[in-house]
Amino acid sequence: MTRTLFNLSAILLLAFVTTAANARNILGIDGEESTSVGIYIKDIQHNKVLVDHNSQMALTPASILKCVTTATALTELGPDFRFSTTVSTRGNITGGILKGDLLIDASADPTLESSQFKSNLGFCSAIARKLNKLGISRIDGDIIINESLKDSGPIAQWEIEDVAYPYGAGLFGLNWRDNTFSLFPLTGVTKPYVPDLDVVLQKSTDGNELIRGIYSNRLIVKRTDITNRKMNVSTTMPDPAAVLKAELKETLEDAGIKVSGRKTDASDSESATTILDWKSPDAATVMRSLMVRSDNLFAEGILRALAPHSSRNAAIKKEKDLWNANGINSRYTIINDGSGLTRANRVSPRFMAGILEYMAKGPNADTYVSFFPKAGLEGTVKTFLAKTSLKGQLALKTGSVSSVQCYAGYKLDADGKPTHVIVFMINGFFCERASVRSTVEKMLLDNFR
């Protein structure tokens, strides 16, 4: 066992089996090593704190920040909230010709044509059917997509190396197919078609890598093998609206509807007629999906729904104001996004646990707890405690980025009701991540048999 792992294990185990006062005295090693550990575990049925070690320390939460995002959205928006994308015609229809434009007003719905909701696919086909019903065979104008989302795209505080990978897909005013696509680098073929993409394929001697700047159409693909024509990569769209527009135009043409693409004389003030109001799945369904799979794009969409006509900072302020008003102090909390992808976020175990307890005792308790994947059974904790007596008895969200491993959630009783809130936040370790995970598993098994 390495010295770093021994120190980490000692910190975790001592913190769990000693009182908070003794832990603070014994664990002076925290200040001497790189690792910072915060733990807060509370029996919420008997209002008894079992472990309180560094619970006020501001640490990087990674994806357990999604617990805060979903708790806020569930409280503020409710479980039945849905995103809406409207499609309208603007102009006159004469002899089967729309002399004007087809308008799409986007609401930053992150689920539009998402692969995660098979029953909610078919946006382009639905538009084609509506136009056919109206007898339109030609649009003598263009497809115009209105995106009202402020400061859209990847977030400035995210690491640039994340932007080209599917988990780093930014939220736009219009999102399409999870804002990702498949690319065959040797041929340049993309599925779906991505307009104006500039692909640079480079031979690599030290591993595969994707590089794309924020808002950049240039994608650098570094591969150790650049001869395989079937080789493909999954990467992010620089402009999802452009991808939708190209796909919709093709769908309409297949349905016998030509789109000229020319600029019309139609004024923005001219009245439009709505032909389709496309709804997302309900918020509870979206949040369950994002928590189980730890979907960053969905989390950013849910955050921005809190302040749809304002900035990201306005949504975050609304989030903090909610918890401050309910006695959960966010003074030493730094939140930059909804997903936790940025390493610059800081929250404390106590702050996180306070929200978990509030939600477990509130009117949306059953819905909120259902968002968390059950250990050993599903999602990001499918293998966690899978071969132990605690399988299915813990509902936990994980969070991990480089040298960060966090867990937040609940211990459940036989009826699936939360009995304890559990928060582990471990930052700055240099041992194997598997060792951190196994140490947390051991602590939970030793204390929740």
**Could you give the strand order of the β-sheet that contains 189-191, starting from the edge strand earlier in sequence?**
189-191, 180-184, 233-236
**CB within 8 Å of 139: residues ≥ 6 apart:** 97, 98, 100, 101, 102, 131, 252, 257, 258, 259, 260
| Res. 153: pLDDT tops 80 | yes
User: Distance between CA atoms of 346 and 333, rounded to whole angstroms?
Assistant: 5
Summary mean pLDDT of the chain: 91
Higher-confidence position of 332 and 6? 332
Instruction: Give the β-pairing of 218-223 and 198-203.
Output: parallel
- The tokens for 176 are 């399409």
What tens digit of pLDDT does each residue of 25-68 get? 333 334 346 789 999 999 999 999 999 999 999 999 999 999 99
**Beta bridge mates, 273:** 89
The pLDDT, as a whole number, for residue 30 is 40
Nearest to 297 by CA among 444, 438, 108: 108
Report the SS3 class of residue 88: strand
d(CA 129, CA 318): 40
Which is it for the CA torsion 341, 38, 387, 44, positive or negative? negative
Region 422-442: what's the mean pLDDT? 92
* Longest distance between any two alpha carbons in the chain, whole Å: 84
The pair of three-digit structure tokens given for residue 153, joined into one six-digit string:
């795209």
What b/e sequence results for 43-78 when a residue is b if at least 16 CB atoms lie within 10 Å of its CB, and e otherwise?
ebeeeebbbbbbbebbbbbbbbbbbbbbbbbbbebe
Q: What's the pTM value of the predicted model, to 2 decimals?
A: 0.92
* Helical residues (DSSP H) of 19-107, grouped into ranges: 20-26, 65-77
Q: Are 145 and 246 in contact (CB under 8 A)?
A: no
- pLDDT score of 26: 32
Per-residue pLDDT reduced to its tens digit, 159-216: 999 999 999 999 999 999 999 999 999 999 999 999 999 999 999 999 999 999 988 9
> If residue 385 lies in a helix (H) or strand (E), which one and from where to where?
none
What's the rounded mean pLDDT across residues 141-163? Answer: 94
**Residue 122 pLDDT greater than 80, yes or no:** yes
- β-pair partners for 39: 53, 424
How does 414-426 read in b/e, with b if 16+ C-beta sit within 10 Å? Answer: eeeebbbbbbbbb
